[in-house]
Structure 1
Amino acid sequence: MGLFSFIKGQFIEVIEWLDDSGSMVYRFPAYDNAIKMGAKLIVRESQAAIFVNEGQIADVFGPGTYTLSTQNMPLMTALESWPHAFHSPFKADVFFVSTANFTNLKWGTTNPVIMRDAEFGAVRLRGFGSYSIKVGDPAVFLWELFGTRSDFSTEQISGFLKSIIVTAVSDLISESRIPVMDLAASYEELSATAAQRLQPRLAGMGLSLTMLNIENLSLPEEVERMIDRKSSMNIAGNLDQYMKYQTAEAIREAANNPESGAAGTGAELGAGMAMGQMMGQMMSQMMNQQPQQQAQPPVQQQQTQQPMNAGGAQGQSDTGKKFCSECGERLGENAKFCSNCGTKV
């Protein structure tokens, strides 16, 4: 093989990208960037090929198979001042850009966002969700974000995109003035509005936001506990009923936890006794709240009876007759002992 044949053999004759890496951009590795005029360019579906001449974007090719020539490379021809039917090898950087839809990308708030709520005042809000993007303008994307890298993936811009999304969602929630209690019912509307706001900014980077989803907006634990208490109070009806409900729940929990009984600490036993006393007081109050009887029972009239000389009553009856002080047996007029029990009269 002669020297000319060796050099000729080093020129690139087939340019293609077998996309199996999940990258958004791939730089084709050309030997000394020397490409044979008449070489075959293969661009698959969801791809775009971009020729860059000395740092300047030239021709862009969509899906298809091409034979490179001055006819289908007008910008390169103009930049290099090629004559018609130019056949010599040329130098250029070739980049493949994936135009596929990159799905299930995540966003979330690193720090809580402070917003003002009409009912709870200033609250700290956290949120997370997912989004999908695709390259809408390969040339703009390559110019704005890619630079001189050999490849480019979504992970390399995920942090940048996440900050943009979080800022837009935070501003939207604050401006919407939706009460905290009603946010969960507005996820779909907020997601659609946020996507509309983000679209122009991403388009300036050659990207297209195909989906934005707000999965959750959560409050700090202390605020969530306050909401739970308020819900329980609403269910109970009033504060008195709520306290009774809370006491009953505490007693039920203590009953379900045998270790908190006699085997518990002194503090636990004291708490249990206090809870029992509180429950007793509440039950007493409940009993006192029952409707009172409309009328008291009539006082029984005391019966006036003549004292009977029985069971310790010693003396004579209206007839003047004697009775035994022990057994009540009728005595004779001159009896000194009871004929029934023998007691001395």
Structure 2
Amino acid sequence: MGFFKNQFSNVVEWEEFRDDMIFWKWSNREIKKGSKLIIRSGQDAIFINNGKIEGIFKDEGEFQIESEIIPFLSTLKGFKFGFNSGMRVEVLFVNTKEFTVRWGTQSPILIPTPQLPGGLPVRANGTFNFKVGDYMTLIDKIAGIKQSYLVEDVKIRITSVLDQLLMKWISKEGKDMFNLQANAVDIARGIREDLDMQVMDDGLTITGFQVMSFNYPQEIQDMITKNASYEMIGNLQKYQQVSMTDGIASGKVKGGGAAADMAGMMMGMNMANEMLKNMNQNQQHQPSQQNQQSQPQHDNPNAGGQKKPNFCPNCGAKNEGANFCPNCGQKLG
């Protein structure tokens, strides 16, 4: 008896598990007496009979089907295993994690804009997140006809409509076509809502959508960069000065030629302006300094007195500033 029990027992588990697999179906086999169900972390097991969900099991672990699973099945709970026959049902294993997928436009999207009659060519890239949201819809629309379902299948579905949605939400409400990154959050929010409505019919839900960057053709990007520089600096004259200074600092402007002459002239003008500014400042300070120096002379009681002779007129002795000659006593001042 024990021999036959071991012969008929089998294991129901996700045999071909992959991280990028959304679901996998255990089918076309009988569940025998003594079989067990293995559910791993991040998996749900759904028992299906004739296209109808019999029961959903979400706890991870190892379970005896006869005693721990069948009693909870909706219409098969009274099923009794025969000696040589089993229960033929399908078990759908679903990956419950949230998937993250990178996306990118395959070719530029031509966004209508008045500045460019042919449209503004824009590329974009980012990520989106999704997970299984409705098991019944998933079974009706996809699992009923597929043995397994991959993340790549969902990515193909999403990217097939992404260009139209990008065009819709970029053009909506007069977005600044030359500064789309500033509106990336609003654009991504609108696209996520639209995508969620579309994949909802497959039992999936979009949990997040992000636009990492918008990319313009090089000539458009150069124009945007130059325009931003004008606005940042304020006017063309200052822009030219900064550009020339950067050229000299980087070594791109050197040697002879008009560029070097212009650089030298502009540097000379800047130096002359600085010198004139300093001279004006010095002239403003000089009158006050002169007044301060002249004031003590008027207050000095000895100012304007007779100068002492270097030699005594009486004896000729050398005088070093004394009022009387040190040799003969002659008054000198």
TM-score (norm 2): 0.64
Label 1:43 to 1:138 Cα distance change in 2 as closer, same or farther (>3 A).
farther
Match in the other structure for 2:47: 51
Question: Could you say what secondary structure the match of 1:234 adopts?
Answer: helix
User: Structure 2 CA distance, aligned partners of 1:70 and 1:36?
Assistant: 12
Residue 139 of structure 1: aligned partner: 136
Distance 1:11 1:168 in 2: 54
Name the CA distance, whole Å, in 2 between partners of 1:62 and 1:170.
Answer: 43
Q: Which residue of 2 aligns with 1:175?
A: 172
- List per-residue Cα deviations over 1:234-264 (Å, max 9, x = no partner): 34443344445444444544457xxx85xxx
- Contact kept in structure 1, 2:105 and 2:124, CA below 8 Å: yes
1:222 aligns with 2:219: yes
Distance 1:12 1:250, change over 3 A: same
What residue in structure 2 maps to residue 206 of structure 1? 203
Q: Is residue 2:69 matched to residue 1:73?
A: no
Distance in 1, matches of 2:18 and 2:252, equals: 59
Q: In the alignment, is the contact (CA less than 8 A) between 1:42 and 1:66 conserved in 2?
A: no
Q: 1:46 Cα shift?
A: 3.9
Of 184, 189, 212, 1:187 maps to: 184
Q: Any conservation in 2 of the 1:50–1:57 contact (CA below 8 Å)?
A: no
Higher helix fraction (1 or 2)? 2
Q: 1:217 to 1:66 in 2, by over 3 A?
A: farther
Provide structure 1 residue ranges, at least 5 long, that are not aligned to the other structure: 78-83, 262-271, 292-345
Q: Unmatched 5+ residue regions in structure 2? A: 277-333
Query: C-alpha separation between the residues in 2 aligned to 1:38 and 1:166?
Result: 53
1:174 alignment partner AA: S
Q: Which has the larger radius of gyration?
A: 1
* Aligned-partner residue type, residue 87 of structure 1: F
Give the superposed CA RMSD.
Answer: 3.9
Kept in 1, the 8 Å contact 2:158–2:195? The answer is no
Q: Is the 8 A contact 2:25 2:147 kept in 1?
A: yes
- The question of whether the paired residues in 2 share the 8 Å contact of 1:135 and 1:206 is answered with yes
C-alpha separation in 2, matches of 1:245 and 1:251:
10
Of 81, 84, 92, which residue of structure 2 is paired with 1:87? 81
Judge which range, 86-95 or 195-204, deviates more. 86-95
Which residue is equivalent to 1:275? Answer: 259
Write the deviation string for residues 78-109 of structure 1: whole angstroms up to 9, x where unpaired.
xxxxxx5543312233221112222x311111
Shift of 1:189: 2.6
The answer to whether the Cα contact below 8 Å between 1:247 and 1:279 also exists between their aligned partners in 2 is: yes
Match for residue 22 of structure 2? 24
Q: 1:244 to 1:44 in 2, by over 3 A?
A: closer
SS of the aligned residue for 2:32 comes to: strand
Paired positions, count: 265
Aligned partners of 1:184, 1:237: CA distance in 2, in Å? Answer: 23
Output aligned runs, 1:243-262, within 5 Å: 243-254=240-251
C-alpha contact (below 8 Å) 2:48/2:55 kept by paired residues? no
User: For the structure 1 residues 252 and 40, does the alpha-carbon distance in structure 2 shift closer, same or farther, using more than 3 Å as the test?
Assistant: closer
Question: Which residue of structure 1 aligns with residue 124 of structure 2?
Answer: 127
- Summarize deviations over 1:129-153 as a string: whole Å, max 9, x none: 1121111112322342345554433
Tell me the CA shift for residue 216 of structure 1: 1.2
Alpha-carbon distance in structure 2 between the residues aligned to 1:10 and 1:58: 28
Take 1:131 and 1:286, find their aligned partners in 2: how far apart are those partners? 54
The answer to whether the 8 Å contact 1:233/1:242 transfers is yes
Separation in 1 of the partners of 2:173 and 2:92?
43
Offset, 1:45: 5.5
Distance (whole Å) between structure 1 residues aligned to residue 14 and residue 147 of structure 2: 13
In 2, Cα distance between the equivalents of 1:186 and 1:286? 41
- CA separation of 1:282/1:62 partners in 2, compared to 1, >3 Å: closer, same or farther? same
AA at the equivalent of 2:98: N
Identity of aligned residues (%): 25
TM-score (norm 1): 0.62
Between the aligned partners of 2:233 and 2:185, the Cα distance in structure 1 is: 32
Q: Distance in 2 between matches of 1:107 and 1:176?
A: 25
